[in-house]
Amino acid sequence: MIPVNPRIATLAPYGLSVPVPPGNFGLDQNESLFPPSPKALAAGQEALARSHIYPDNDWRNLTKAIAGRFALNAANILVGCGSMQLIACLMETLARPGEHVLSTRYAYAYAETTARQFGLDFIRVAEPDFTVDVDRILAAVTPQTRIVFLCNPGNPTGTRIAVAEILRLHDALPADVLLCVDEAYGELSGQSSAPLFKRLSRGNLCILRSFSKAYALAGARVGWGAFPTDLAGEMRKVLSPSNVSVVSQAMALAAFEDQEYLANLVQTTSLLRKNFQRELTTLGLLTPPSHTNFALVQFGDEAKATSALNALRSGGIYPRPMGLYNIPDTLRITIGPEAVMTRCLEILSAEVAK
Ligand SMILES: *Cc1c(COP(=O)(O)O)cnc(C)c1O
């Protein structure tokens, strides 16, 4: 083989979930199991006919709509092929040899993958009870810390911390440490992040959002982030030009403008999740309180979790095993339509009775 960058050669590939056989339910990637807004589908159809033209490199229609809703300037907003692309872009832009990303025990694995791609160490502090602990983060800040990365609500935990806690963390961080808050499940969190968006001008805070979860557009690959103006400018040098397709930009804009549909999906999903978690508890299974479209289910030991995984797969349901996060006694289960969740509970009930 041709010699490659040794830093890349030593990396492990990012562990996506196994392919779900056709006809089965994939409850493994926290996709919406409900379809996108009909308005987004119509906008995508219409945009398809403009596919011979490059997309707007500045995502102007979309950033204008987002800026309007969150009281931001369009210059603060970057749009990526999913927020994953923006996470990678952020790491690349900030990485300098010897520096660290400080994060939490269960923070999104892809952030660690990208940090290491660009030579940054990724340090994780404990999350007692599967919940981010601001004091533990602050205690671990060193002169090498360049980014503090946290997910709120968390994935794979589903738990959230109050926005006031994030403000406290931000206030206590040195000005040359960037706080990056990944809010991929922000629309489902039940709390407003407006106080965070108001602080962009301080220069060391960014917020990431996604169209993949609550907006039901995982396949379109669109995410956005709010960044301080200077940092956004530097990241633009790294982000590949014309990254988000004509069709995806149109779909994201129409979905964003259909807040009524979003509110319905959020309400339906939250209700299904509450019922699912209540039933899990009735079965005697522990599940941290979730503010997302999934639940982390604790089985007590790895053998029980594996047995449940196999039983669910035999029943046509594919949850996500959690070996990647080193919690092999748990499964992460995306919230789907009621009939699927009922089937899931039947299988888990039989497992618990074993
Ligand atoms: C799903 C997810 C993402 C990725 O979202 P995309 O916009 O699809 O790239 C980012 N962060 C967390 C915590 C997620 O769960």
Write out pLDDT tens, residues 155-203.
Answer: 999 999 999 999 999 999 999 999 999 999 999 999 999 999 999 999 9
For residue 15, pLDDT beyond 80 = no
- Residue 109 in contact with ligand 1 by CB distance below 6 A: no
* Position 16 confidence tier, pLDDT thresholds 50, 70, 90: confident
More confident residue, 208 or 13: 208
Query: What's the CA-to-centroid distance between 83 and ligand 1, angstroms?
Result: 6
H helices of 140-258, where? 163-172, 194-197, 229-236, 246-257
Mean pLDDT of the chain: 96
**What CA–CA distance (Å, rounded) separates 217 from 229?**
27
- Residue 220 in contact with ligand 1 by CB distance below 6 A: no
Nearest residue to 264 via CA among 27, 25, 37: 37
- Residue 112 in contact with ligand 1 by CB distance below 6 A: no
CA 108 to ligand 1: nearest atom? 13
Query: What's the CA-to-centroid distance between 135 and ligand 1, angstroms?
Result: 25
Query: What is the structure's pLDDT at 354?
Result: 86
Test site for ligand 1: of 16, 32, 84, 105, most ligand atoms within 8 A of the Cβ: 84
Q: pLDDT digits over 260-284, tens only?
A: 999 999 999 999 999 999 999 999 9
C-alpha separations of 4 from 114, 118, 211 in Å: 17, 14, 34
Query: What's the CA-to-centroid distance between 23 and ligand 1, angstroms?
Result: 25
Query: What's the CA-to-centroid distance between 1 and ligand 1, angstroms?
Result: 33
Indicate the burial class of 16 (C-beta count within 10 angstroms; 0-12, 13-18, 19 or more). Answer: exposed
Question: What residue's CA is closest to ligand 1, atom 14?
Answer: 184
Percent of the residues in the chain that have a pLDDT greater than 70, as a whole number: 100
Q: pLDDT digits over 25-82, tens only?
A: 999 999 998 999 999 999 999 999 999 999 999 999 999 999 999 999 999 999 999 9
Nearest residue to 182 via CA among 137, 148, 230: 148
Sheet with 205-210: strands ordered across? 77-80, 223-226, 205-210, 178-182, 145-151, 100-104, 121-125
For residue 243, pLDDT beyond 90 = yes
For residue 10, pLDDT beyond 90 = no
